[in-house]
Chains A and B, each alone.
Chain A
Amino acid sequence: MKNILYILLLAIFFTSCEDVVDVDLDPEPPRLVVDALIRVDTSQNVTEANIRVSLTSSFFGEIQPAEIESMQIQNEETGAFVPYEPVPGEPGLYRPFPTTVSPVIDNMILTDFLINPDPIYIFSITYQDELYLARTSFSPTTPIDNIVQGDNTLFDDDDTEVIITFTDAPDREDFYVFDFDFGEFLTVEDTFFPGQNFEFSYFYEGDDFPLESGQEINISILGADEPFYDYMEQLITQSDLGDNGPFQVPVSTVRGNILNAEGIDNIDVFDNVDRPNNFALGYFAIVQEFKNTIIIE
């Protein structure tokens, strides 16, 4: 056998690139969107519970506020309810309206009204003579034990790591939604750390969030039931499909828990199966929140 000798000059011209392109879209007519996520700080007597309604727009268009006819949250058991009124000067934003019987002070809802764990809260809204309904319960959660800034990075040298520690509530199935500010959310479920003290890292990608020293970031843990957890997980997925290419999951319109109840009389119309495109987007949820602030070093 002879000696194997080889000399090789290599040159790799490797190009994987992203560029912004023009795409003609075929938008559908505007649809009602309700952002009725009510975050409850149980240590406070009253809870700010403003609700934003808007209309879908073309993807490259401007999202417009919606003007609705009526809106309220009702406790099904007691019949007590909170009516809503527009916030002056803020189109699309609605706030609790104090009446002689409503549990509302200073346009905020009494916290005691909101923390019933049974699914008894009925949200109703009328828009263009169509009635939409949603139902929810109060989802409690556990506080964050600790937040510190770490010095690891994931994809980029200028990534920022925050290390979160919290203790899962024992003996129950928990779903958590973390709000990392800037519209960044993360969903976590406790399947693999039931009742444990759990630590994980979250990375602010340097390309997208060049955080500066001294900057304040609000990080919240939010309670969730399974449907709301699923909803948030889908929102996160669909809002950040990124450049997955061949590994992309199917896209879909993420539908929430707000159903079109117009005309459902259980006599002629039982359900929405025959009008699948007649729906509103968004979600109605009442969740416990623990809010923490960290200052970037």
Chain B
Amino acid sequence: MKKSFLFVLLFCLGFYTSFCQEKFTLNGTISDSASNETLIGVNILFPETSNGVATNSYGFYSITLPEGTYQIIISYLGYTEITETIVLDRDIRKDIQLSLSTESLDEVIIEEKVERVNIRKPQMSVNSLTAETIKRIPVVLGEADVIKSILLLPGVTSAGEAASGFNVRGGAADQNLILLDEAIIFNSSHLFGLFSVFNPDAIKDLKLYKGGIPARFGGRVSSVLDIYQKEGNSKQFKANGGIGLISSRLLLEGPIKKDKGAFLIGGRSSYAHLFLPLFDIDNRASFFDLNTKLNYKINDNNSVYLSGYFGKDDFTISDSFSNNYGNAVGNFRWTHLFSDKLFSNLSLIYSDYSYGLELDFVGFNWDSGITNLNLKYDLKHYLNDKIQVNYGINNVYYAFNPGKIEPNSPESGIVEDQLTKQFANEFAAYIDIEHKITDKLNIQYGVRWSNFIRLGQDEVNVYTDDNPVLFDPFLLLYQGAEINNVDTSFSRSDKLATFNTLEPRFALSYAFNDNTSIKASYTHMAQYIHLLSNTSSPTPLDVWTPSGQFIDPQISDQYAIGYFKNFKENEYTLETEVFYKDIDNRIDYIDGANLIANDAIEQVILNGEARAYGLEVLFRKNEGKFTGWLAYTLSKSEQRTPGRNENEVGINLGQWYNTPYDKTHDISINANYEMSKKWRFGANFIYQTGQPTNFPVGQFEFQGLVIPTYGFRNEQRLPDFHRIDVSATLTPKQNKDRRWRSEWVFSIYNLYSRKNAASINFRQNQETRVNEAVRTSIFGIIPSVTYNFKF
């Protein structure tokens, strides 16, 4: 099956390259005339031939056509369209600069081009947002937020209003590959999930792949969130920033050498002591992040980039409990043009996530984290006007620190201990072909081969029959097995376990005409590292663990089919998709599993499975004074962990149960109205089926403790969730000659102050000793104001 797939792939490639006649290549980079910032997704169209190409993530394009004279149109919404005639009688390098059609603070309309549906491209299940769109969505406390914005898209949800992470098409939060300038980000949340770690000022563009994921991506089974930072303005010095209720931002960019190199540095910091009213305790909660980037264009064929991201959270309660955590990322990139048809990018990336905790009243410090070193080499080969081949390799080396404990004072009874560090290497090679078969039929096919090696570590637990989890058939309980002995004979170069996965990807689009198409895709993916998290949404102290002798890689299959239509000259677009996804080896935990500081994590893990299916509809209005979208998702997300054999009952008696983020109906409406140059309005409406939860079926008492009992997992639901947010943006009149531009954003979150339940807990009231059900709602009505500036 897989063999024949590869054969077809090679066959198609060979067949189409052998038809070459006299052809020439047009290529180049497209950028903004004011800043030299490269532009992603610009269309270069050849109206006479119905051919076209779009710029890639680095702003580069290349197209090969038969000799001739062509009219070309370069268009990117918000920028002045360029029409030119080109005599293609030799290979031509053509770098193009586009200028903004209107000067406004927020470059209002630019994003809509890239966010619009591409009818002919086989790529489906992808949503794009630009920083400008993100900044205009009304949000809690006025903090423009990447993750909270993508939650408004179909198929994307979370485990609650202030939950960390996000869930794509019923997948878990650790199944999202989050890339910032190609570096893997392991924790996307500030302040336990209230805000995300991405500073919207420093971001150029983001794409969320929910399905039909191209072969160049791998390592996670649900989605890819691909975020690009801005490169920096190489023409002139610019600054912008904002002052909000929670944090302030400042971003500076400018040339190092005019038209050749630029720098960008952006910082964001919250105000400390911010959450006093929230928790009513003596505490400190703060975060900051710093985005930096340098780029230098050595010549027409070579550019280098250096980018970094550092983020940190600090959360302290009255000197007795403090924790801090964050990501650090460094990335060196070199893009090189081998020829006008062959574009390459080499990246060397370091990223880490670390978590630190001090518990003074127990007397210890705790550190855990994950570090990885990532080498990527990607090539894009624009073979001819019909075929583009992307191929490359990727090698990631991981070091996992499950935890180190140290006494925090000489008086502490704690003995220093390092839990066994784990190491792994993940290598992948891929080939991905975008192939225009006919004017109507486009296909994209590829395969990724991934190889994961769990490397030797200092100590390996050995169990009878290699079985770390035992089942008691009388008490019907799972419990950890005795460790027979600890094998310390392994060196770092030994292989404890090796996994190989061939991951085919396939997508096609069939265009009925310029405005209507259907698309279908199949994606097979493997995920080798797992976040050990047994809560509804991840916490900062959760640790990652690699697959190995006891934990198998997660494997997903996803099928999607969709219908896409543009109406009225692209003023409206409609995207509908249905998908089915199943995931093998989804890890689940035995009752009472302890995941923190556990040196024998295999004793609490069982392999289960997960599945999700649904329907997504996205209807957008792209142009005019009134823009926005309506997203609707009807879906189901569930998992189960049956017994490993017929003599076991499994978790939840082996029954399917709803994941904590399963929401049957999910409706989001986002609307923007441009009333005048001075005033602009935005609104969201969100309605979701209440999250799954558990109501007790009884209670009992043991030694004075009152303990609820439960039936099957996640069978009840919280009340439905809904709210409206509104915002108004005031751009004061400005003198044309002055560079200083500013705007005020007033917003109200949860306009009608609905007490949406974040949870309903059942407990005994400590004062009255009476049992009660307690609803916790996080955000009531929250007005806020933000000031943004730019010069």
Taking Cβ atoms with an 8 Å cutoff, the residues of A that contact B are 1-2, 4, 6, 8-23, 25-28, 30-31, 33, 35, 37, 54, 56-61, 63, 152-156, 161, 168, 179, 182-183, 185, 191-194, 196-201, 203, 207-209, 227, 230-231, 233-257, 259, 261, 264, 270-273, 276, 279, 281-283
Contact = CB atoms under 8 A, between A and B. Distances in A.
Contacts of A255: 475-477, 591
B277 interface: yes
Contacts of A8: 243, 785, 787
Contact of A276 (B245, B592, B653): B653
A114 B192 CA distance: 48
Nearest to A185: B705
B170 to A, nearest CB: 17
Contacts, number: 285
Q: Give the residue among B320, B709, B713, B791 with the most A Cβ atoms within 10 A.
A: B709
Given A63-B701, A155-B317, A254-B591, A246 B535 contact: yes
By Cβ-Cβ distance, the 8 closest A-B pairs, closest first, are: A271-B473, A183-B704, A198-B413, A15-B780, A208-B766, A201-B361, A246-B163, A56-B698
A139 B241 CA distance: 63
A154 B317 contact: yes
29 contacts: A16-B777, A16-B778, A20-B773, A21-B775, A22-B773, A26-B695, A30-B698, A35-B701, A35-B703, A153-B318, A155-B318, A161-B361, A200-B363, A201-B362, A207-B766, A230-B479, A244-B759, A245-B163, A246-B163, A246-B164, A247-B536, A247-B539, A250-B713, A252-B591, A254-B592, A271-B474, A273-B476, A276-B476, A276-B649
Query: Would you call the interface of chain A mostly helix, strand, loop, or mixed?
Result: loop
Given A192-B364, A244-B535, A246-B160, 13 more contacts: A1-B239, A15-B780, A28-B697, A63-B700, A185-B705, A241-B762, A243-B759, A246-B537, A248-B759, A270-B473, A271-B647, A272-B475, A273-B473
A254 B698 CA distance: 12
A155 B707 contact: no
A78 to B, nearest CB: 24
Q: Give the residue among B405, B759, B764 with the most A Cβ atoms within 10 A.
A: B759
Given A208-B766, A281-B700, A21 B774 contact: yes
B22 interface: no
Interface residues of B, number: 104
B755 interface: yes
A179 B791 CA distance: 64
Nearest to A15: B780
A288 to B, nearest CB: 16
B772 interface: yes
B321 A239 contact: no
Contacts of B537: 246-247
B172 interface: no
A54 B164 contact: no
B536 A14 contact: no
A176 to B, nearest CB: 13
A60 B771 CA distance: 6
Contact of A12 (B239, B277, B317, B594): B277
Contacts of B164: 246
B751 interface: no
B649 to A, nearest CB: 5
Contacts of B342: none
A24 B474 CA distance: 33
B782 A14 contact: yes
Given A57-B699, A154-B321, A283-B702, A250 B776 contact: no
Interface string B757-789: 111111110110001111111111111110101
A239 B589 CA distance: 19
Contact of A20 (B193, B594, B772): B772
Nearest to B775: A21
B705 A235 contact: yes
